[in-house]
């Protein structure tokens, strides 16, 4: 297969590309605008593969999308390009409307035109896989409730509302035009190459520098944590084996309060790099990394609990997460400790000024 992946320089997209190049014989075309969260350095392990191609483009640009589709002739599209940070969506929702809604519409229209011109097996086997989030479902009420594929949408933030809108567009293009689509909704991802503004990498890197670890409210919000490499395996399963028109929820079976996550990271760091073992950046008087926790006012509209019922994808496609939270978070913390140069380049912005590949400025 040749798979076009939008947003392939992002956190989840790059994990999907690494998985495909390392574990299959498929070819990948990575279409990415390279916004602040797009980092081609996350693809260094596979960027030299003859089965990998990069296209610097914006999904909102129909001319570019048409050219890429007609030139590369993909057998499937995995649509991951999105603005995804809730706090940023509260401060500036316009970019989320533009990328997540208008961009998805543009990609759907281009894909529909491309698909209609296919013939025979190429047309029958073509797939448009839209990758979404469990945040479209809003907040769970009861402690035993789980999001299923039939859960009604009730988004709480501009981010989740824009993703909900894109999900609806994808379903409409399936129902109205017959475009062979699939949708997946995932829980919170974590793992290597995660952009440092997100909770887990932020806590790791702040703790290493002896800086405050900000926790919203009392950290009581519950999320289902999914190791990104498990997610990549699931996404590939869906695009290659999933039933057209279906939605699959993907979760890690790892519900944790945010404060539990922060405590776990602090305790791992106490074990791996005890306070006092390094002088640079460490605050004096610390006995352990938990001393850095700083509770801050909660953000507007903060959902309390998300939890995924992932039984459908396990039952129909045989996927289940390989990592527990305990194994995945240890791997994650160790990866950041081993890749502080990657982190530094993201934090100081130099990753955007470097030129990689075919003279592409990032």
Q: Given 32, 75, 135, 255, which residue is catalytic?
A: 135
9, 146, 145, 152: which is closest to 81 by C-alpha? 9
246 is catalytic: no
- Residue 301: left (phi > 0), alpha (psi -120 to 50), or beta? left
The answer to whether 268 and 329 are in contact (CB under 8 A) is yes
Does residue 52 sit in helix, strand or coil? strand
58 is catalytic: no
The answer to whether 182 and 128 are in contact (CB under 8 A) is yes
Packing angle, helices 199-208 and 325-338, rounded to 10: 50
State the Cα–Cα distance between residues 17 and 5, nearest whole angstrom.
8
- The DSSP symbol for 290 reads G
Q: Given 32, 55, 58, 134, which residue is catalytic?
A: 134
The answer to whether 135 and 308 are in contact (CB under 8 A) is no
Does residue 192 sit in helix, strand or coil? coil
Strand partners, 355: 361
153 is catalytic: no
Q: Given 52, 114, 137, 159, which residue is catalytic?
A: 159
Give catalytic residues, as residue numbers.
Answer: 134-135, 159
């Amino acid at each position: 297969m040749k798979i076009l992946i939008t947003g392939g320089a992002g956190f989840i997209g790059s994990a999907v590309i690494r998985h495909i190049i390392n574990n299959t014989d498929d070819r990948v075309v990575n279409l990415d605008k390279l916004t602040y969260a797009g980092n081609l350095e996350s693809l260094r392990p596979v960027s030299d593969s003859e089965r990998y191609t990069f296209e610097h483009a914006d999904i909102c640009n129909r001319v570019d999308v048409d050219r890429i589709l007609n030139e590369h002739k993909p057998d499937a599209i995995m649509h991951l390009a999105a603005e995804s940070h809730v706090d940023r969506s509260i401060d500036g929702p316009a970019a989320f409307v533009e990328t997540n809604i208008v961009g998805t519409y543009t990609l759907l229209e281009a894909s529909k035109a491309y698909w209609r011109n296919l013939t025979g097996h190429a047309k029958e086997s073509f797939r448009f896989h839209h990758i979404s989030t469990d945040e479209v479902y809003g907040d769970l009420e009861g402690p035993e409730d789980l999001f299923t594929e039939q859960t009604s949408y009730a988004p709480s933030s501009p981010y989740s509302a824009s993703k909900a809108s894109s999900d609806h567009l994808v379903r409409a293009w399936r129902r109205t035009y017959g475009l062979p689509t699939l949708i997946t909704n995932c829980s919170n991802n974590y793992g290597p190459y995660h952009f440092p503004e997100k909770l887990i990498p932020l806590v790791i890197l702040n703790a290493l520098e002896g800086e405050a670890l900000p926790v919203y409210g009392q950290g009581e919000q519950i999320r289902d944590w999914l190791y990104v490499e498990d997610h990549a395996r699931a996404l590939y399963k869906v695009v290659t084996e999933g039933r057209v028109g279906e939605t699959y929820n993907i979760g890690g079976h790892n519900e944790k309060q945010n404060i539990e996550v922060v405590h776990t990271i602090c305790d791992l760091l106490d074990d791996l790099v005890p306070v006092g073992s390094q002088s640079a950046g460490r605050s004096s008087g610390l006995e352990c990394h938990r001393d850095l926790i700083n509770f801050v006012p909660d953000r507007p509209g903060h959902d309390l609990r998300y939890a995924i019922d992932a039984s459908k994808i396990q039952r129909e496609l045989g996927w289940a997460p390989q990592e527990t939270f305990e194994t995945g978070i240890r791997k994650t913390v160790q990866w950041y400790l081993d890749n502080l140069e990657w982190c530094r380049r993201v934090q100081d912005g130099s990753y955007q000024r470097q030129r990689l590949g075919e003279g592409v400025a990032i």
